[in-house]
Amino acid sequence: MPPKKHSNLGPSSAHRWLLCTPSVMREADLPDETSVNAEEGTLAHALVEVKLNRIIAGKRRGMATAAQKKDPLYNKAMEDHTDNYCDTVEELLATARRACPDAMLASEMGVSYDRWVPGGHGTTDTVIIADGECYVIDFKYGRHVVEAEDNPQLRLYALGVYEAFSALYAFKNLHLYIIQPRADGITSEDLTIDALLSWAEEYVKPRAEMALKGAGEAVPGEKQCRYCKARFQCPERMRYATELMQYEFKEPELLTDAQLADIYPKAERLTSWVNDVKDFMTRRAVSGYEYPGMKLVRGRSIRKIVDETKAEALLEEDYGTSIYRLKSLTDLEDIVGKKQLAERLGDLIVKPEGKLTLVMADDKRQAVSVAETMFND
């Protein structure tokens, strides 16, 4: 079983602390961050766990629990995407059992790789263990494609599985998978246990020691900076992002081909950094900090259907099953009529408050007070 204390060197952040060892100490006292996408991913993972546990118990996979269906982030698409993940897991399990009938399937299994990373532990999404072979499978609900090749998160999970089961199962080969139903992606990496252990000893172990001491060089980059909590205050990232300043924002026509070739791959750095600065300032403003010459306003919002299952049932009574597949409210209104759709669905159609946005004081939108946001949000 993994240690109960929180691991600063977890698998999900390995791409950061392995590439930029000082980031661990820089993040240590900063608050955790969350987002709707993260909460949606958490719910989808919980749904996968429910379905896989039913499979492990020899039962029908079924659907989400009643409590999960009440979550505002739940929808039918999530059922489909988690089913697709489970389909692939069952296919891999069948492959493993053709060679080893006793192959074991495990879901949400805690593992520890403390031998190489002090306090290092995590929880795997899905593991299949057979004699000679081991499958480590990671479920990702985002749309940003993540590759399994050379993926440190998957490899650290694999180290933990090896530590837990190497005495019982003499597996020599690893099959690492990332399954992303919403990105229509399945990527994989095959490697031997010997290759994994060499990676752990020669690369992971020394860098983990550096990370825990706050030692080493800060190395900014797309992978390691994206979710780093210290990215807003990082001087190395600021310099990395603003390298383009040397071109003094000249018109493209005035730049040489060599300069254009230098700018193109770096442009995203600057955009990403500016967006992070704006997000950071907005969060501070929401928490009560006042920036001179600026104010908080509500951004635009889009109408949505809050209970898709109920809305589909109501529309099916009048128009058949195919109409709801249009999904877009605008498309539905074009066929049914705006007034008629509003009457039929009633309170199922809502327009949520717009997201809080920090703007200049001369913006025409009405300012929102911090007290109001705390009361409503």
Chain mean pLDDT for the chain: 86
Mean pLDDT within 318-338: 67
pLDDT tens digits along 26-55: 998 888 877 888 899 999 999 999 999 999
Alpha-carbon span 40 to 94, nearest angstrom: 30
Who's near 112: CB < 8 A, 6+ residues apart? 1, 2, 3, 120, 121, 160, 163, 164
Which pLDDT score is estimated for 259?
A: 87
Kindly report, residue by residue over 90-136, the tens digit of the pLDDT.
999 999 999 899 999 999 999 999 999 999 999 999 999 998 899 99
Calpha distance 168→161 (Å, rounded): 11
What sign for the dihedral angle of Cα 288, 289, 293, 294? negative
Dist. CA 126–CA 220, nearest whole Å: 31
User: Is 215's pLDDT higher than 90?
Assistant: yes
User: Is the domain 11-213 a CATH 3.90.320 member?
Assistant: yes
**Which of 302, 332, 301 lies closest to 319 in space, CA to CA?**
332
Q: pTM of the full predicted structure?
A: 0.72
Residue 237 contacts by C-beta under 8 Å, 6 or more apart in sequence? Answer: 220, 225, 231, 273
Angle between helices 308-319 and 338-345 (to 10 degrees): 120
For 288, counting Cβ atoms within 10 Å of its Cβ (0-12 exposed, 13-18 middle, 19+ buried), the class is: exposed
Judged by DSSP in three states, 295 sits in strand
pLDDT in tens, 144-167: 889 999 999 999 999 999 999 988
**pLDDT score, position 1:** 36
Q: Considering only residues 143 and 153, tell me which one the structure prediction assigns the higher pLDDT.
A: 153
Q: Which residue has the higher pLDDT, 367 or 343?
A: 367
pLDDT mean over 225-235: 87
Q: What is the pLDDT of residues 308-323, one digit of tens each?
A: 777 777 777 766 655 5
- Average confidence (pLDDT) over 228-246: 83
Structure tokens at 80: 């489909």
pLDDT of residue 2: 39
Q: What is the pLDDT of residues 244-298, one digit of tens each?
A: 777 777 888 888 999 888 888 778 777 877 888 888 888 888 888 889 999 998 8
